Amino acid sequence: MGRFLICKEAELQPGSMKKVTINGQDVLVTNIDGKYYATDDTCTHAGASLSEGVFRDGCTVVCGWHGAQFDCTSGKLTKFPVTIRDLGSYKTVTESGDVFVEI
pLDDT tens for each residue of the chain, 103 residues long:
799 999 999 999 999 999 999 999 999 999 999 999 999 999 999 999 999 999 999 899 999 999 999 999 999 999 999 999 999 999 999 999 999 999 9
What domains lie within the chain, and their CATH numbers?
A: 3-102 (2.102.10.10)
pLDDT of residue 91: 97
Contacts with 24 (C-beta within 8 Å, 6 or more apart), sequence order = none
pLDDT of residue 52: 97
Contact (Cβ atoms closer than 8 angstroms) between residue 84 and residue 93: no
pLDDT of residue 102: 96
Q: How many CB atoms lie within 10 A of CB 36?
A: 21
Q: How far apart are CA 65 and CA 42, in angstroms?
A: 11
Q: How far apart are CA 51 and CA 66, in angstroms?
A: 14
Q: How far apart are CA 74 and CA 88, in angstroms?
A: 8
pLDDT of residue 1: 75
